[in-house]
Structure 1
Amino acid sequence: MSSTTEPTSTPASTGLPPLRRVITEHDADGNPIINKTLSQHPPSISPGGMNFTLGYSLNESPAILEHDQDLRAYQDRLPHNVGLSIRGGTVLRIVDFLPGTEAPMHRTATVDFGVMMEGEVQLIMGSGETTVLRRGDIVGQRGTLHAWKNNGNREPARGFFVLVDADLPTVNGTKLEENIPNQQYM
């Protein structure tokens, strides 16, 4: 695959620009190059008014780059549902929220670093507290019960998230656990 390959459209029509990813590696002589074995169009699924795109994942931290072990592990995961997080690993995910879409309330055993790339979404905490995240806003989601909602009726939104495995805290003597009502997410 050439590094000039044009991106294709996302699985469900969002009106947002198509995603293209570039993965780097080294050739046999140690020169940095663009990987040509992975598609520049990462896989996506579209449950319930959202597009979940798996940009990349790592099975462990620190990542083992020797002999492209991380690339092989990622490719091995592709035919299967990755889930929202990887125990001991890291997931890079882009989520497109169609207008009016609300993700179910959930908690993952991760710290999620997020950046709103397009549009805006409402972050709804399990306590009922809310805030609106707009283009350029960042969020550090630390294992809390939360949901996302695109309150707009015309504009889609896109968020970029890196989910890093974490041990959930104990609160008032109770160890918090993952709460993922619908496991269909990539």
Structure 2
Amino acid sequence: MSSTTEPASTPASVYLPPLRRVITGHDADGNPIINKTLSQYPPGITPSGMHFCLGYSLDSSPAILDNDQDLAAYQDRLPHNVGLSIRGGTVLRIVDFLPGAEAPMHRTATVDFGVMMEGEVQLVMGSGETTVLRRGDILVQRGTLHSWKNNSATEPARGFFVLVDAELPTVNGTKLVEEMPSLE
């Protein structure tokens, strides 16, 4: 069932506008339509200082669109929380970083394609190397140990990320593994 009502306010949404998604599909005659099965406002969780919004997910690549199988798989995952990544799949996630927010160090078995939509965040690599990503900057995160920090005391930041399943590399004879903090 579709919903046009905006979601309840979160700490991040006090600073940034709510996210709205539009999903397309086909009617029974094959005509392209706006699919209204899912809410326009994707679900999210709000761990300390951040808001993680799940825009969409796919269980496989290539995605199976016949009979809206991808929609059904996404809906089936929602009550159980998708997590940061899906083995064999893809996750579309938008992350709002409140002023001063800092994510714990983590590594996912994914290649992450990211674009900073608003504000700026500092990318902190496991080696200690850092760089600042600003609005419009693109990131390709390739299974590396990293964290995020919003150094602003007043401005939020919003990043758009697509996480694609990947095999982590072996470095100096050691197979790297996911290192994931709890999001709750």
TM-score by length of 2: 0.95
**SS of the residue aligned with 1:78?**
helix
Aligned length: 183
8 Å CA contact 2:85–2:165 kept in 1: the answer is yes
Aligned equivalents of 1:170, 1:2: Cα separation in 2: 45
Deviation of 1:182 after TM superposition, in Å, equals 1.8
What is aligned with 2:164? 164
Which consecutive unaligned segments of at least 5 residues does structure 2 have? Answer: none
Return the alpha-carbon distance in structure 2 between the equivalents of residues 159 and 177 of structure 1: 24
- Counterparts of 2:41 and 2:83, CA distance in 1: 19
Match of 2:174 in 1: 174
Which sits farther off after the overlay, 153-162 or 174-183?
174-183
* Paired AA for residue 127 in structure 1: S
Displacement of 1:181 in angstroms is: 2.3
Equivalences for 1:94-105 in 2 at 5 Å? 94-105=94-105
Confirm or deny: 8 A CA contact 1:124 1:146 kept in the other structure.
Answer: yes
Amino acid at match of 1:52: F
Residue 141 of structure 1 corresponds to which residue in structure 2? 141
Letter in structure 2 aligned against 1:85:
S
Q: Write the distance in 2 (CA, Å) between the matches of 1:172 and 1:7.
A: 50
CA distance in 2, matches of 1:100, 1:145: 21
1:11 Cα deviation (Å)? 2.4
Alignment deviations for residues 53-88 of structure 1 (CA, whole Å, 9 cap, x no partner): 000000000000011100000000111111100000
State the distance in 2 between where 1:120 and 1:167 align: 29
Q: What is the CA–CA distance in structure 2 between the aligned matches of 1:6 and 1:177, rounded to whole Å? A: 40
Find the aligned partners of 1:8 and 1:183 in 2 and give their Cα distance: 20
Question: Which residue is equivalent to 2:131?
Answer: 131
**CA distance in 2 between partners of 1:72 and 1:11 (Å):** 27
Aligned-partner SS, 2:56: strand
What is the root-mean-square deviation of aligned Cα atoms in Å?
1.5
- The residue aligned with 2:45 is 45
> How many angstroms apart in 2 are the aligned matches of 1:59 and 1:152?
36
Moved over 6 A (4+): none
Note the residue ranges of structure 1 that are not aligned, 5 or more in a row.
none
TM-score (norm 1): 0.94
Greater mean alpha carbon deviation, residues 14-23 or residues 137-146: 14-23
Measured in 2, the distance between the counterparts of 1:169 and 1:86 equals: 18
